[in-house]
Chains A and B, each alone.
Chain A
Amino acid sequence: MAGAADRASGEAAAGGQVAAGSGLARGFILLAAVFLAGNLLQHGLGLALGGARAWVVPGGLVCFVLGVAAGLHPRLFGYLASNRFSAPVLLCLGALTALGTLILQDLAPDQVREVYGWGARLVLGLHLHEVFHSLGFTALLGLGAAGLALTLARRRPLTWRRAGALLAHLGLLLVLAGAAVGALWGVKGRLELREGEVAEHFVVARDGRLARLPLGFQLRLDDFRLLEYEPRWRVMVFAVRGEREERLLSVDPAVPGEAAALRAHGVALLRYLPAGLPAAPQAPAAATHAILVGGTRLEVEPGRTVELPGGAGRLRVLRAFHDFVLDAATRQPRNRSARPDNPALEVAFLDAQGAEERRTWLFARFPAFEHQADAGAAGPAPVALQYVFTPPVEPGSGQGPAVELGLAGLEEPVLLGPREPLRLGGDRVLVLAAAGGDMVRDYLSDVSVLEGGELRLRQTVEVNHPLEHGGLAVYQADYRPEDHAFSGFQVVGDPGLGVVYLGFVLNLLGVLWVVFFPRGLPWPRRRAAGAGGGA
């Protein structure tokens, strides 16, 4: 806490006994002028400051020019290094940062005009739709950096308190300098691998184009693992109003006391079946395929030929995929995963002699979509076909739990599996669902680093645990829910990182120093006070 003595030294220490009010106003006017000049210059030059490099050069230039000018002009030096200048800089940067959250960022000019109507001219004129990458904002950052540098260069007696403040300011300057170094000479790109694949390059976006940069080593994805939380099943009641869902109730079906609350919605929980629905007597052990032709259902399987009803010809089922995808490399179909996410059937229409007339793909999830499989006869299929895929039923194993409910006004109980909404009347819906939101607990990539074909390093990369090798850091970035063999990485090389971290530490020490020990460390003071008392 600052006392009266600290305050008394205030403005004198900060740079002169100039009327402080006019100094603040002068600061705001100067900053507004610089901001507007930066915007005008950006319009005049037609600059688009997309990349990180763009803000470093103009910001550094402003900082350099001001530093030189201040060196030549002592009054300017004193003003730029004073609190009368730094306070307006901080407030203006705060105001612009807030504006950057109130106005949608990184929109194209046409989108800005569409969103902001008559206000678009102001937004575009001041580059408020890309405020953090505008020359005006960059110039203010440059002014701030110049102020920091001049504060450090100011010749004043090094008191205990001033030392703490200098440390805090030096820390901030180093953070800005380190960020500038990283922006100028750092790289950031993306790398995608599937299990077993090896990469030697990663992809970066530069000047609107994608470029491949060498890693300097080989990176192999040995294994990718997606871990999920153990589901905590709850019976939930929602009120659905338009697009909004409000959860009214959530009870643990395994706790009888909690289930009583369902009665308020006219529901009685009769049984909870944690292992799932009871086994059906004729539960199929494998997936079944059927094709609907008009009102007729034809049970089919790969390799089998069936007669189409109404003398429409014959149909041979060639291949079935439970999760169809066309391989980008081979252009051949394959299963993308073990789950039945996109069942597809390849069929061939046969003529009277058994020769193939045309082939086509049928998709269970997209009945209107039919993909011609070969370059044979063109035109529509002779009859409309709909593929019906029935996944294998394995009661009590992986199908999730179930609840048996008694509903007011119904004699028969209702069996409800997971994620099957049950309308209760009005706007209320009941569902058995896993609580806790996103179920993904972690995603991990086991990778190997190879150099010249030799194994150098094995590591598991996950969020919060990047791989660091050869001056690059490889971060676990994302995954594909439908492809558990895929892993996405962000590759970052940041030569300014050490400087930034040093800045963090110095700024932290400086702030703590100034706030908690403004008049020195407590123990030497006590010792001195004790010695003084003894004397």
Chain B
Amino acid sequence: MSHASVLFPALSGGLYALAACLYALQWWRASRPLRALASLALGAGLAVNLLQLGLRWVQAGQPPFKTLYESLLLAAACIALVYLVVELTYRARLLGAPAAVGCAVVMLVALTRADREAVNLPPALQSAWFIPHVTIYFFGYASIFLAAAVAAVYLVRPRPIGLRRPDLTGGRPIALEAVFDGAVRFGFALLTVGMLMGAAWAKVAWGDYWTWDPKENWSLVTWLVFAAYLHLHYLHHWRGRRLAVLTIVGFAALVFTYLGMHLLPTAAQSIHVYQ
């Protein structure tokens, strides 16, 4: 497992980076081989990524979601999977570059935090809730990441995309606001499922569904920001740029929830902080 913990993310990260370049090239020049190569590179990166997760699962005999390194592997796979589903469903390749860049960056971070050993699961994590709670949350994270990426593009270029490049958008112009709005809604639904599952699990494990643990609190903060987004969306003047900014703010809260807990002065009170 020791060499694999570096080789696999290096390989999948390289493939994701290649896919990012190929997808980005399509913004300037599109061709059928370029499109196929981009999808192939992303698919190959995802395959290596999933293979590593699978091998780690088999070798350790437990789901590989415990350490920061393992969760980064899962995060990259979720971003790639969510994007590929969007590409296959809508035939739109607009999000390919930001998705692949996200995967490559996550893999780069994973390389700096490579674990050689799987960490033993404590008793509380040996539960049927563990796998759905974590994976649903990470699919939610992936959706919100894609939403924030599109929102950032929207802030720079708010016009609909694809009027001249139907190959990027599945043959029809796409309003970026509708894209990030849809991704936010999908992500919010998954964050809701993940949070309620976590609360129900905590009740079964410890007798309390909410303990004001810092990680619980920040997942609530993220949820509240996106719940506010959904309510603000119905106000006439809360469109476009304001919602894009709120999406990015929500994504920043989400990244802090995921990676920033050790920075909090209350981190010692949390059982969720990655070591």
User: Which A residues contact B (CB, under 8 angstroms)?
Assistant: 1-3, 7, 10-11, 13-14, 20-21, 23-24, 83-84, 86-87, 90-91, 93-94, 97-98, 100-105, 132, 179, 188, 229, 232, 234, 250-252, 258, 435-443, 462-466, 473, 475, 477, 490, 492, 497, 500-501, 504, 507-508, 511-512, 515-516
Contacts and interface: CB of A to CB of B under 8 A. Distances in A.
A251 B2 contact: yes
Given A258-B2, A437-B120, A105 B237 contact: no
Given A101-B218, A464-B124, A508 B234 contact: no
Closest 10 CB pairs of A and B: A10-B234, A94-B224, A1-B182, A435-B117, A436-B120, A90-B228, A463-B123, A492-B207, A515-B189, A83-B231
Given A20-B235, A83-B232, A250-B117, A98 B217 contact: yes
Given A94-B220, A97-B220, A103-B265, 7 more contacts: A87-B228, A91-B228, A100-B217, A104-B266, A188-B207, A252-B2, A466-B207
B7 interface: no
11 contacts: A7-B233, A11-B236, A87-B231, A100-B217, A188-B207, A250-B117, A435-B116, A442-B126, A464-B124, A497-B203, A512-B189
A188 B228 CA distance: 34
Contacts of A84: 235
Contact of A87 (B182, B189, B232, B239): B232
Contacts of B189: 511-512, 515-516
A34 to B, nearest CB: 17
Given A250-B2, A511-B188, A94 B127 contact: no
B178 interface: yes
Contacts of A250: 2, 116-117
A463 B225 contact: no
B242 to A, nearest CB: 11
Contact of B233 (A10, A179, A464, A477): A10
B238 interface: yes
B181 A443 contact: no
Q: Is the interface of B mostly helix, strand, loop or mixed?
A: helix
Contacts of B269: 105
Interface in B216-275: 217-218, 220-221, 224-225, 227-228, 231-239, 253, 264-266, 269, 275
Contacts of B200: 501, 504
Contacts of A20: 235-238
Contact of A439 (B120, B192, B221): B120
Nearest to A258: B2
Which of the listed residues B126, B200, B232, B265 has the most CB atoms from chain A within 10 Å of its own CB?
Answer: B232
Nearest to A513: B189
B2 A101 contact: no
B41 interface: no
B205 A463 contact: yes
Nearest to A19: B237
Contacts of B220: 94, 97
A490 B209 CA distance: 14
B204 interface: yes
Nearest to A508: B196
Contacts of A439: 120
Contact of A10 (B120, B181, B236, B253): B236
B185 A438 contact: no
Contacts of A511: 188-189, 192
B188 to A, nearest CB: 7
Contacts of A179: 210
B199 interface: yes
B33 interface: no
B262 to A, nearest CB: 12
B179 to A, nearest CB: 9
Contacts of A251: 2
B231 A2 contact: no
Interface string B191-208: 011001001100111111
Contacts of B204: 464-466
Interface string B46-81: 000000000000000000000000000000000000
B153 interface: no
A515 B185 contact: yes
B239 to A, nearest CB: 8
A109 to B, nearest CB: 18
B118 interface: yes
B120 A441 contact: yes
B214 interface: yes
Contacts of A86: 231
B36 interface: no
Contact of A508 (B2, B192, B214, B239): B192
B131 interface: no
Nearest to A1: B182
A86 B196 CA distance: 21
Contacts of A104: 265-266
Given A91-B225, A94-B228, A515-B186, A14 B118 contact: no
A202 to B, nearest CB: 12
Contact of A102 (B231, B233, B265, B275): B265
B122 A440 contact: yes
Max chain B Cβ within 10 angstroms of own Cβ: one of A13, A94, A439:
A94
B27 interface: no
A1 B181 contact: yes
B120 A94 contact: no
B235 A11 contact: yes
B228 to A, nearest CB: 4
A182 B106 CA distance: 42
Contact of B117 (A11, A91, A232): A232
B127 A464 contact: yes
Contacts of B208: 492
A492 B188 CA distance: 32
Contacts of B123: 440-443, 462-464
A444 B120 CA distance: 17
B231 to A, nearest CB: 4
A237 to B, nearest CB: 12
A213 B231 CA distance: 46
B119 interface: yes
Contacts of B117: 232, 234, 250, 435-436
